[in-house]
Amino acid sequence: MRVGPKYKIARRLGAHVFEKTQSPKFAVSEQKRKRKFSRPGSVYSRQLLEKQRVRLNYGLSEKQFSNYVKKAIASDSHNAEAALYTLLETRLDTALLRAGFASTRGQARQIANHGHCLVNGTRVDIPSYVVKQGDVVALRDRSAESELFRELASTVAEATVPAWLKVDAKKKSITIDGSPEYTGKETPFDFGTVLQFYKR
């Protein structure tokens, strides 16, 4: 999915949208700009902006994202916000990113797309593949020896890995040891506002 100029989009939607815009320098410049140009928006505009923030952060097209929202609303879960969060976080590319196997979402998607991963011993090349508790995601032998993963141990060490993922840097594998829990603190985004946008 082509996104466009990321810094320009981040000025409109916020620094948390993309990994490359989450720098202290960008945050300070944005605070100064917002103090100078800030003005209250309508409820609709706030909902739209929040929807765009979440959608672009996960690198999804409008159709893909709306499908996830529909699934979350139609799920048996009493908490549609948590259901949406779980659907997005259990994508294969997101799991690779959270585990530190990639430094950006684009890189995580490329790793999945190029078939570098095995899920329970089977090659998977679909970034949206849903990982479940008990699954083991590992790098293919040939891929593990490539230049792309030479610094994997240090990348994993620097990553803040969520509790539901167990990473073995030596074996270059990820075990899905639970499921993501949404409390509203794990993410800078307001999933409730996103759902309100689609329910209007």
Lowest mean pLDDT across 22-26, 88-92, 117-121, 148-152: 22-26
**Residue ranges of domains in the chain:** 6-78+189-199, 91-176
Q: Is the pTM of this model over 0.85?
A: no
Q: What percent of the chain has pLDDT over 70?
A: 78
Crossing angle for the helix pair 43-57 and 6-13, nearest 10 degrees?
140
Q: CA–CA distance from 24 to each of 36, 98, 126, 198 (Å)?
A: 19, 21, 34, 33
How much is the pLDDT for 168?
A: 94
Q: Which residues pair with 28 in a beta bridge?
A: none
pLDDT, average across residues 127-156:
92
Q: What is the pLDDT of residues 50-86, one digit of tens each?
A: 999 999 999 999 999 999 999 999 987 789 999 999 9
Superfamily of domain 91-176: RNA-binding S4 domain (3.10.290.10)
